[in-house]
Amino acid sequence: MKFYLLFGPPGAGKGTQAKLLVDKFNLKHISTGELLRNEIAKGSELGKIVQKIIDKGELIDDKTMISIIESEIDSNPHVSGFLFDGFPRTIAQAEALDTMLSARKFSVESVLSIMIPDVMIYERIRHRAEIENRKDDAEPEVIKNRITTYHSKTEPLIAYYKECGKYHEVDGTGTIEEVFGSISKLVG
Ligand code: ADP
């Protein structure tokens, strides 16, 4: 079972590329953002807690995220591989993922990183706000906080995965097709 991680700042196009990648390479797509938004839509207790955090542009606690991922892995025993989109987002999540996978005799195959500059993050999210109805995309202050959080908590993962030789970066500023072409070359 292969585990690919789609990495990049908010608005880099992870969701768009993930949909194309899972079709082409027959992987199970796990978007933690989508899983959390489903919890909110269900109106569960977890959903209520999660909503407040997402609306501020902050991260859900590591323990909750790790247990969500663990249950997704264990409830899909027959897939040929996973594409995680939005996880891990902190060093603690990355370490927990390594532990979780090695206990199951698996490991991270590759980190596919889509990079765009901060100015483009704002443009992309503003554009997405017109198409999708995400509250966390509508407020400039919330977007700013997500970008700050990305730089402080998530960006350190680049060094973490470079260290073990699993980090691969593509330029995310091109068209959807161009970015897909670059990422596809990294999977297989
Ligand atoms: P984006 O890539 O635009 O930030 P996502 O859909 O991946 O959007 O995530 C939306 C929100 O869900 C994040 O801002 C964060 O609050 C929460 N979230 C998603 N994944 C994680 C995670 N692995 N750890 C903590 N919080 C998360």
Counting ligand 1 atoms within 8 A of each CB, the residue from 67, 84, 114, 136 with the most, and so the one to mutate, is 136
Question: Ligand 1 atom closest to Cα of 85?
Answer: 7
Across the strands, what pairs with 2? 81
Q: Per residue in 20-68, pLDDT tens?
A: 999 999 999 999 999 999 999 999 999 999 999 999 999 999 999 999 9
- 3-class state of residue 13 by DSSP: coil
Give the global pTM.
0.95
In this prediction, residue 160 carries a pLDDT of 98
In this prediction, residue 121 carries a pLDDT of 94
Question: Ligand 1 atom closest to Cα of 137?
Answer: 3
CA of 122 to the centre of ligand 1 (A): 16
Q: State mean pLDDT over 126-134.
A: 89
Question: Ligand 1 atom closest to Cα of 136?
Answer: 14
CA distance linking residue 2 with residue 84, whole number of Å: 11
- Answer for the pair 76, 29: CB distance below 8 angstroms, yes or no: no
* Pocket flag, ligand 1, residue 87 (CB < 6 Å): yes
In this prediction, residue 133 carries a pLDDT of 86
Within 10 angstroms of residue 129's Cβ, the number of other Cβ atoms is 16
* Pocket flag, ligand 1, residue 172 (CB < 6 Å): no
Q: Which residue lies with its CA nearest to atom 10 of ligand 1? A: 33
